[in-house]
Amino acid sequence: MSSSRTPAVWRIAGRHFSDPPPADWRARLATRLGERPRRVGPWVELALYGALTCLDDAGEARLPDAALLTLATVRGPDIALRAALVEARDSLPLPIGFLTSQPSQALPALARYLGWRGDGRCLASRDALATLQLACADAGPAGVLAGWVDEGNPLNSLWLRLVPAPEAASRPTRPASFAELADPVLAVLAFDAGGLRVARPERAHD
């Protein structure tokens, strides 16, 4: 994708940085969807929970088709994969066990429940900031929904919904870490040669 299309500054339209999620997150997801997701494993459910909560925070009923969707993970569906390996040691793994052990199964589930048909990717990475920068570099005018999901201890499902904010290009920003994006006060982010930069919302008298 041409770099000329890359917005330099982004508004954080929605975020979900609950780490770990609430104990009843699975029940909340089923309530949100009106059903328990079928034929997906816990890792995909965790991704769905975070992505939908982030879209709710952004006030969007669905993710626009033109938006980029990117999901990063360190180990992917680790629990399902370990279970499938145990099954494979004794016999052939069950089809549902094999399917739920595949990270690629997250994208069809997200597409279904987000009402989205667009460009998506699932990345294995330990560098959350690098994956965010890559997503911003590849996203277009409809922005990006970016997530980081893992089944470690604790669980985490972190999501950001970003939309272009060219009107904020002249605003002063400061360096920041990825963890600081959890702060609801921060409203704008950008990248330069030094890395991530952020800004607070513009006040009426600014």
Q: Is residue 205 part of a domain?
A: no
Note whether residue 183 is domain-resident. Answer: yes
Amino acid at 181: L
Q: Does some domain include residue 204?
A: no
Separation of alpha carbons 182 and 159, rounded Å: 10
* Count of domains forming the chain: 1
And the tokens for 166? 């060219």
Within a 10 A sphere around the Cβ of 192, how many other Cβ atoms?
A: 10
Q: Is the dihedral of CA 196, 201, 203, 206 positive or negative?
A: positive
What is the band of 129 on the pLDDT scale with cuts at 50, 70, 90? very high
**Bigger pLDDT: 154 or 163?**
163
Percent of the chain at pLDDT > 90 equals: 57
- Quick check: is 17 in a domain? yes
> Is 206 contained in some domain?
no
Average pLDDT, whole number, for the chain? 85
Under the banding of pLDDT at 50, 70 and 90, the label for residue 120 is very high
How long is the chain? 206
Look up residue 185 and give its amino acid: V
Give the range of the structural domain holding residue 22, as residue numbers without chain letter: 3-199
Strands 156-164 and 9-16: antiparallel
Q: Is the pLDDT of residue 4 over 90?
A: no
> pTM (2 decimals)?
0.86
Q: Is residue 157 part of a domain?
A: yes
20 inside domain: yes
The verdict on residue 18 lying in a domain is yes
Alpha helices (H) along 115-206: 128-138
Residue 188 is part of a domain; what is its CATH number?
3.40.47.10
The distance from CA 95 to its chain's CA centroid, rounded to whole angstroms, is 27
195-199 β-sheet, strand order: 120-124, 68-73, 144-150, 156-164, 9-16, 188-192, 195-199, 174-175
